[in-house]
A and B are shown apart, each in its own frame.
Chain A
């Protein structure tokens, strides 16, 4: 076993020292350097964040340190020293003793990172058994203690359960327990909270922080989220396409970024609270990655038609899914996905619907777009009840933009054909006109008309999302439903697509329902905001009102949990938001939802009177 300097005594050197690290991956017959000449050190008790957009080489760096890259197709050069000991060139038999013992790693995908057919507890105990050589019973006792330390409630019972019985946040706690099993000197966390909801992210991050303080570990934190960096990192290393662009203390890097790319990256980050001075939506400033300079800021006129009858009027909408027992197909439980929701939307207005996974926001979007039938309640579009409209008719008025730009375009259709498809379905215009319309739409969303002949896989995520927007506009609908439409995009691209939506809204007087979990983007784009929790709207009002004066406890919790890309305003330590999980919208058959009352704070700002569960 590796001898690590005693953690209580003053450490004699850095825990991890990486110098001149170059990593190449084999593609076909050629070697591609995906990380070039990287240098950094991490001391005990310190957190270094490596930050960058997709393809920057940050995850490869983490995997190289653990030496988990597939052998044969990867080549690591330079030096990686753990507590003074060179890791490169160590035989696998030695690495096995170091991994999970002296250094440990947690991964991005808690859903797939655990063995689905092995009890949770055993997956923790396994590591202890191999590295410590203790008995089965001893390992089990240690694993139970660890589960309690990462605050998995009811650890004894949950020891024998399987991963599918755990939520994402709980699985990530299990991963942390596994990583901490042998008290490693170095913890590598590769995007550990990216797949989690924001309130769960806050809990997991503060748990890592707390454990780090107790154990004095060095932490290497890989992320793309500047907010998370500001919250957790002592020092920050910025990577861009395999190169180390900038390194410094987090405060320095954020306050005085030296490189244009860092400046552009930081400026593109949606920052909650940056809209305090603006009452109306406001485009993102777009920064040039080469110079770091911003384009001129623009003001957008308010085109909302508040006086006219609403474009969309939702009254008492509920959606429930039946869950049947497998044997007799009786309804045993129901998912109350959307529960008695009412709101409206004016022409030219953007209403954001925010909330965490399972809150019903996507279901509601699908109902409005006609893709799902409501269980009760009414949706009126331009004064016409949706129930009386066929999908065919409805599609002329409402179109949807989906979350995953890689899944929302039919891979077998060229981009041009994809944009023409709605026109073809509705037998609008001649084939020749359709080609022209498609070309025009491509131009509108900022793409060249020449790309019409290409297939979706030739485009990047941001370009695909532009194509999807073009397709949605082909039928000239009055309204768009954007379901997490920018969530899968890198920050710089995200800003551009959000601006595009705002410009299109100006031109076409679109009403937009913008469904998102990203509070900072919502703050930019929306006129009004509705906060959903467990299928109900708990707060709705003008954006400046809801963000500036949140009244419902859940709205506050949600806003508090958003990481701030500002190291001076670290707030997780003060605001530890408990260890609760999102409650389930699953209710037994015959469940009667409680009668809710709303309080009007200001005209248009409604807050649900919190039930006893918030006391």
Chain B
């Protein structure tokens, strides 16, 4: 509360979420409506950022592309977060063979660089959002598992976990009610981080033409096609580059802010 200015990442993050949610309600053109007559038209009142190679509204396409990037990022991060955290907590809490098995299987997934794993999946299942979300989720499951596992390792040796066992709490209750609330911080940080990385990965795949399929608006795709008309209409390339960079910058800054917030060393007042 010291200064709203200092917390610009959170403010901008909320703006991005609002923009994505409200995209269908905004008074902007249909992002798919073509008008060949006005290809590469310069900015005008009706089209503030001009029109692209098919005469579509660039502004509207940027907003919708942002929406799709956010949607994919949040869905994939939620999916992998849920699976990865559950595996990490169960593995970390039960120890023994279960622990070895979960952590080793994560090591195996980690042997594949993320982009390659995604490309293998695209080869098998074909491109498109429906392939993209589960694949991106799978790619980031190990990161959640590792974070959850590491946090459980520190938490499970705390005496309050023993205390919970000592009062007769079952494994499920301890994992959900005692451990989970105490490792939520690192998991939320990881969630925001994975969101940022997912945006990068998704845009990369779309850039190569292996992600979101045209004509759906996607930042990576817009950059990819913009390269072809680099000399003719450089702004077609510059706009999506700017929006994508800004999006990732905000997500990263937001993640850093969360990390500081949850850093145990920043907890104020220990009461003694």
Contact = CB atoms under 8 A, between A and B. Distances in A.
Interface of A: 54-55, 366, 369-371, 390-396, 398-400, 402-404, 406-412, 421-422, 425-426, 456-461, 468, 471, 474-475
B233 interface: no
Nearest to A464: B271
B168 to A, nearest CB: 3
Given A371-B166, A394-B168, A412-B182, A461 B272 contact: yes
Interface string B151-192: 000000011101111111110010000100110000000000
Interface string B254-272: 0000000000000101111
Contacts of B182: 410-412
B180 to A, nearest CB: 9
Contacts of A406: 270
A458 B269 contact: yes
Contacts of A370: 166
Chain A binding site: helix, strand, loop or mixed by DSSP? loop
Given A407-B160, A457-B267, A457-B271, A425 B166 contact: no
- Classify chain B: how many residues form its interface, as a range: 20 to 34
B163 A392 contact: no
23 contacts: A369-B166, A371-B162, A390-B168, A391-B168, A392-B168, A394-B168, A395-B166, A395-B167, A398-B166, A400-B163, A402-B163, A408-B159, A408-B162, A410-B164, A410-B178, A410-B181, A410-B182, A422-B167, A425-B169, A426-B167, A458-B271, A459-B271, A474-B167
B170 A392 contact: yes
Contacts of A460: 271-272
Contact of A412 (B166, B181, B271): B181
Nearest to B168: A395
B158, B167, B272: most-surrounded residue (chain A CB, <10 A) = B167
A400 B160 contact: no
Interface in B53-89: none
Contacts of A412: 181-182
Contact of A399 (B158, B167, B170, B178): B167
Most buried by B among A54, A370, A411: A411
Contacts of A366: 162
Given A400-B163, A407-B158, A457 B269 contact: yes
Nearest to A396: B168
A611 B263 CA distance: 52
Nearest to A398: B166
A398 B162 CA distance: 13
Contacts of A458: 269, 271
Nearest to A55: B272
Nearest to A483: B159
A515 to B, nearest CB: 13
A468 B163 contact: yes
Contacts of A394: 168
Contacts of B267: 457
A54 B271 CA distance: 13
